[in-house]
Amino acid sequence: MMEADFEEQDFEILRGIVSRVGLADVRAFGMTWEDCQDFLSRLGYLVSVTVSETPAMA
């Protein structure tokens, strides 16, 4: 991240996300799936999850 070039308009969003991720290893500030979905949404991504059945194990 230190060497990366970020878009100026994303700087505040990224700073907030990185500060939140930095606290995620503390039990009281754990992250949920909804948190991750929100972070990606604020960066312009749409999250979708596909669940597939795996073939039965013999």
Q: pLDDT per residue over 6-58, tens digit each? A: 677 778 888 888 888 776 665 676 778 888 898 889 888 899 989 988 887 76
pLDDT value of residue 26: 59
Domain ranges of the chain: 9-42
Instruction: Identify whether the C-beta of residue 47 lies closer than 8 Å to the C-beta of residue 22.
Output: no
Q: What is the pTM of this model?
A: 0.58
Contact yes or no for 6/14 (Cβ under 8 A) = yes
The three-class DSSP label of residue 39 is helix
Residue 18 is predicted with a pLDDT of 82
Q: What are phi and psi of 18, to 5 degrees?
A: -65, -40
Q: Which of 33, 41, 1 is closest to 19 using CA atoms?
A: 1
> What pLDDT is attached to residue 31?
78
Amino acid at 52: S
